[in-house]
Each structure stands twice: as C-alpha cells, then as structure tokens.
C-alpha cells in the first residue's frame, strides 16, 4: 500500500557549507533558525526575522532575570490570586495558597511550563513586583542584542510577548549557561509535593531524554496566537547548535521538524515519514472512538475521530499517522471495508480530537 501524503510543507534556505546531504528540510514551522555555536553562523533559516508571539519560551528570560538577582533558592513562595491566568484561563495543578521553595517554582516553570509558578517567581523577585520585573526582562533582552523582542508578561500568555527566531537563538544560548536552567529544562520528569498530593510532571518537549538527543536546553511554547514553538540547544556530531522553531500548527509538526533537522545535520535524508497506524472505529457516546494499534504490533493507542456524520463510522477501517515518538496521532484516511482502498479524510481541521500514544 502506498504511503499517504502527510502535510503541506514550506521550504527553507540552507546557509553556507556544512556536513549535510541532500536538500534542506521542509519545515512545518513558519519561522526557523538552526545556528552553529562554534562557527557563529546560521546553517538554516526560514523567515528568521519575522516577529511572532513567543508563548512560553518567555520563561527562559523569566528564569534568567530571576536568577540574576542571586535570590535565596530555598525561600518559600506562595501562589496567590495574582498568579491565576485571567487572560487565557489556562489550567493549573498548583492551587492558590500552594507554598513551594523558589527553586521548586523555577523547576515547574521551566520543565513543565507551569504558569502560576513562573508568575510567583517573577512577582517575588524584585521590589516593585511584576511591572519592575517585566521591565528588567526587556532590559536584558536589549543587552543580549534581541532587538526585535518585547515582553509584556513573565509567563508568555500575553500575545504581546513577541520575538524572532534569530532573537530566540540569542536568548536560548545565554540561558544555557545558567546551571539551573540547563538542569531543569533537560529533566524528563519530576515528582512534586503540592500540598498533600504528590504530582508527577513531565517535560513539555518530547525530545528531551530521547536516545541520541544530547539536549543542553529546551523550552516549548504554545498559545493560539503563537502556534507550537520550541527552542533547543543540542550537541550534534558536528558540534552544538541552537534550533529555534516558531509557529508550527501542531505538536507533531514541531517534532517532525526537529527530527528532519537532525537528519539533515547528520547527512541523512531530511524527509521524515510519520508512522502509520491501522485502526477500527466503534461508537462511544457522541463520538466515534478509534482504537488503533501500530502496524508493528505495539500497544494500542487511542484516537478520537469525529462526531457521527463526519466520516468514520462503526466498523470502518482507518489509517492514522504519528510522529516518531507516537505523539499527536491524527486520522488521515478511512474506508468502509477492510480492503486497503483508503480515501483521504476530508473533515475540516478541529473536527478531530488528538491524543498521544
């Protein structure tokens, strides 16, 4: 059976000579830079100076400015009503009244992108509170040469937090030299005692901890305005690079960009074909639920198709695809019979929920 086409991709421009093979990768990100630290030059660019929302990549600057104050890391901070997100109404597992040491707050903010923790850290860092802190973030951005960057808050929830891929590279490189930022952004998971509960947190970047990825710093970001973003500093066979990706439509697209860039840097083909899953559908409440099993016979994963009437019905056979890490699986085709005659799934974006394997 022929492989299905995945997504419409846009081209990028390679810069200068490098130990790569074949054409530059086609990226889902709207803006991207791959920067060689040792050579002090960009190896790959796509709209590198387009100003876009930063989302939670903001928290790298938040952590740097907080640590620049040489604070007492064991000082207890309290999450207050001021730290609640009234802009995006994002969820949090850290309730108002939670008391954690500053070091623990920083860990949650950087590793799992916990907004209330980032707010509590910034609110308690300087006399004058949050307004003074945000002003210091902008001052540091200028000192780092981030001339197209502006911060409006310390969490990244504000769409007025904007930057470019070139500026994000500068921020990430500077942040990687802070020992705690390196440590916290490269943790795969962490158990935190929040009140009377022990909560398990996981790194928001699925590449962290993946075999073969020697990541020295990582920070993801997402808001509706920013799309899916990520910046990593990673040791490659050719030396350390910073990869900044901004504005991908999906987490799967963001991850496949990372894999394609790595392949290209290693001299391998830069294309990346998502893994295919075969699935059958069954009715579950108002939605037809697809329980899929990878063709390799690995454990089942769960997808959600559409509401009844949007294509997939009980008893139909489906194909789904995922990134190499089996995240953000999505339905791409279906058929009303078991024969391998699959049709493109024409449901519009947003009519399918997405689940991770």
Which one is catalytic: 31, 113, 122, 327?
A: 113
By three-state DSSP, how is residue 172 classified? helix
Structural domain boundaries in the chain: 52-265, 275-344
pLDDT of residue 271: 60
**pLDDT score recorded for residue 12:** 55
How does DSSP classify residue 133?
H
Per annotation, catalytic residue among 59, 170, 219, 233:
59
Predicted pLDDT at 224: 95
Q: What is the pLDDT of residue 20?
A: 54
Around 203, how many Cα atoms within 13 Å sit in the side-chain half-sphere? 20
Assign domain 52-265 to its CATH superfamily.
Answer: DD-peptidase/beta-lactamase superfamily (3.40.710.10)
Which position among 31, 56, 204, 256 bears the catalytic label? 56
CA distance 37 to 174: 11
Q: What is the pLDDT, as a whole number, of residue 17?
A: 43
Of the chain, the end-to-end C-alpha distance in Å amounts to 23
- 170 annotated active-site: no
Residue 22: its pLDDT value, please? Answer: 64
Per-residue pLDDT of the chain (357 residues; tens, 9 = 90+): 333 233 333 345 555 445 555 677 889 999 999 999 999 999 999 999 999 999 999 999 999 999 999 999 999 999 999 999 999 999 898 999 999 999 999 999 999 899 999 999 999 999 999 999 999 999 999 999 999 999 999 999 999 999 999 999 999 999 999 999 999 999 998 888 777 788 888 888 888 988 888 999 999 999 999 999 999 999 998 899 999 999 999 988 999 999 999 999 988 876 654 444 444 444 444 333 334 433 333 334 334 333 333 444 333 434 444 433 334 444 444 333 333 333 333 333 333 333 332
- Paired residues of 279 in beta bridges: 292, 318
> What integer pLDDT is reported at residue 179 of this predicted model?
97
Distance in angstroms (rounded) separating the CA atoms of residues 250 and 1: 26
Pairing of strands 41-46, 31-36: antiparallel
Is residue 56 annotated as a catalytic residue, yes or no? yes
Q: How far apart are CA 36 and CA 76, in angstroms?
A: 39
Catalytic residue flag (residue 92):
no
The pLDDT of residue 244 is: 98
Sheet holding 343-344, edge to edge: 300-304, 287-294, 275-284, 317-322, 330-335, 343-344
Query: E strands of the chain, at which residues?
Result: 13-14, 31-36, 41-46, 52-53, 76-78, 99-101, 162-163, 189-194, 197-202, 214-223, 227-236, 239-248, 275-284, 287-294, 300-304, 317-322, 330-335, 343-344
Tell me the C-alpha distance between 301 and 314, whole Å.
17
Torsion of CA 50, 56, 57, 62, to 10 degrees: 120
Question: In terms of Cα–Cα distance, which of 271, 268, 273 is closest to 21?
Answer: 268
- Give the three-class secondary structure for 120: helix
């Amino acid at each position: 059976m022929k492989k299905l086409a995945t997504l419409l991709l846009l081209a990028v421009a390679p810069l200068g000579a490098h130990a790569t093979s074949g054409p530059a990768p086609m990226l889902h990100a709207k803006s991207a830079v791959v920067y060689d630290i040792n050579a002090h030059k960009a190896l790959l660019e796509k709209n590198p100076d387009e100003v876009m929302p930063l989302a939670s990549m903001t928290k790298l600057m938040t952590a740097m400015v907080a640590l620049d104050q040489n604070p007492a890391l064991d000082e207890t901070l309290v999450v207050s009503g001021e730290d609640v997100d009234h802009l995006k109404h994002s969820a949090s597992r850290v309730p108002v009244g939670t008391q954690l040491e500053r070091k623990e707050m920083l860990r949650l903010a950087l590793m799992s992108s916990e907004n209330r923790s980032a707010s509590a850290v910034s609110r308690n860092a300087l006399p004058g509170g949050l307004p003074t802190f945000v002003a210091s973030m902008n001052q540091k951005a200028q000192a780092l040469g981030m001339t197209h960057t502006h911060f409006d808050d310390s969490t990244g929830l504000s769409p007025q937090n904007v930057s470019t891929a070139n500026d994000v590279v500068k921020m990430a490189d500077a942040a990687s030299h802070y020992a705690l930022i390196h440590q916290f952004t490269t943790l795969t998971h962490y158990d935190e005692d929040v009140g009377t509960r022990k909560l398990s947190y996981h790194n928001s970047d699925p590449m962290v901890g993946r075999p073969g990825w020697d990541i020295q710093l990582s920070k993801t970001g997402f808001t509706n305005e920013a799309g899916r973003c990520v910046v990593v500093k990673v040791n490659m066979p050719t030396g350390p690079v910073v990869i900044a990706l901004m504005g991908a439509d999906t987490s799967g697209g963001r991850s496949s960009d990372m894999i394609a860039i790595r392949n290209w840097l290693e001299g391998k083909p830069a294309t990346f074909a998502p893994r295919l899953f075969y699935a059958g559908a069954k009715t579950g409440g108002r939605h037809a639920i697809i329980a899929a099993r990878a063709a390799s016979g690995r454990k089942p994963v769960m997808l959600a198709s559409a509401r009844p009437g949007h294509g997939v019905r009980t008893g139909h056979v489906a194909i789904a695809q995922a990134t190499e890490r089996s995240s953000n699986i999505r339905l791409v085709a279906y058929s009303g019979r078991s024969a391998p005659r699959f049709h493109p799934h024409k449901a519009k974006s947003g009519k399918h929920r997405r689940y991770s394997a």
